A and B are shown apart, each in its own frame.
Chain A
Amino acid sequence: MSVRRKHHEEEGHAEIDLAPMLDFIMNLLIFFIITTSFVKQTGVKVTQEEAYTAEYKENGNILIAIRPNGDVWMDRRRVTLPEVRATIERMHAERPEDTVIITADKAAENGVLVKVMDQVRAGGIESVSLATLPQGG
């Protein structure tokens, strides 16, 4: 018995104890699950204007791009103005804490910007931001 036990314990101690590693991995996993925000990317690149007083926007997960020719892009496809409202309503229902950031090209027209803003507000999200580049940053 004693011989057998000694042999077995040597086998057992040869392995690495997985429990601390598992704890660590679980913590990492929980961190990434919590911080994952699933941003709705627009799919187009626009040139933004620089600004000194720009501030970081919390929960700015819904991005809407306005191109210089007036096209509106969100969720990686081109949308019309009524579709903006419908899409915002759907996204607002999925994650009510998300806010909207409009990334308008600096050559885009303000008329389109204001129309998009009104559509977003009609879709139920009051917090709308206009993206800029941080100056000198």
Chain B
Amino acid sequence: MRMRRHSGSESDGEAGIDLAPMLDFVMNLLIFFIITAVFVKEVGFSLSRPAASAQSTPQQEKKDSKTLYIVLHNGGEVSIDKRPIDVRAVRANVERFKAESPEGPVIVVANSKSPTGLLVQVMDQVRLGGVLNVSIASTGG
């Protein structure tokens, strides 16, 4: 036995590093990363705040015809230019606005008590209408 260990063929084998402990360690690391890997599949919209130049009170905004303001009221009503409309009619309004002024920004003015579900519906309609860049402003403290 001892003789064999000192023989040429045995020393060939012993020259390599023993991989088993390293393999154990790597396997543990692998299992750790597999278990902790979480693949988030959240989908949604980008939210942005109005640019500083566009930020003004809704009363002043009426004169500025180049910006479309969609107001969400506390009770869940939607209005454009003080005209109450249905959520599903937002898309048609946005399409018309986009045809008139293609570069005009769309700002959703959400009353602070209005539900976010309504905001999502309105933003969805605006995006369906072809305007992907929607800003959100809040009123009413």
Residues of chain A at the chain B interface (Cβ within 8 Å) = 1, 4-5, 8-9, 12, 18-19, 21-22, 25-26, 28-29, 32-33, 35-39, 41, 48-57, 60-61, 63, 66, 101-115, 117-118, 121, 127-134
Contact = CB atoms under 8 A, between A and B. Distances in A.
Say whether chain A's binding surface is mostly helix, strand, loop, or mixed: mixed
A117 B47 contact: yes
Interface residues of B, number: 51
Central interface residue in A19, A51, A66, by most chain B CB within 10 Å: A51
Contacts of B43: 54-57, 131-134
Q: Which 5 A-B pairs rank lowest in CB-CB distance, beginning with the nearest?
A: A111-B112, A106-B117, A32-B33, A110-B110, A114-B138
Interface of B: 4, 7, 9-10, 13, 19-20, 22-23, 26-27, 29-30, 33-34, 36-49, 72, 110-121, 123-124, 127-128, 136-138, 140-141
Contact of B136 (A48, A56, A101, A114): A114
Contacts of B137: 114
A22 B49 contact: no
Contacts, number: 175
B113 A132 contact: no
B45 A109 contact: no
A133 B117 CA distance: 11
A129 B44 contact: yes
Contacts of B37: 32, 35-36
Contacts of B42: 56-57, 60, 63, 101, 103, 129, 131
B116 A18 contact: no
B11 to A, nearest CB: 11
A46 to B, nearest CB: 10
B40 to A, nearest CB: 5
A129 B46 contact: yes
A51 B19 contact: no
Given A12-B13, A51-B120, A55-B43, 6 more contacts: A22-B23, A38-B38, A63-B42, A114-B49, A130-B45, A134-B43
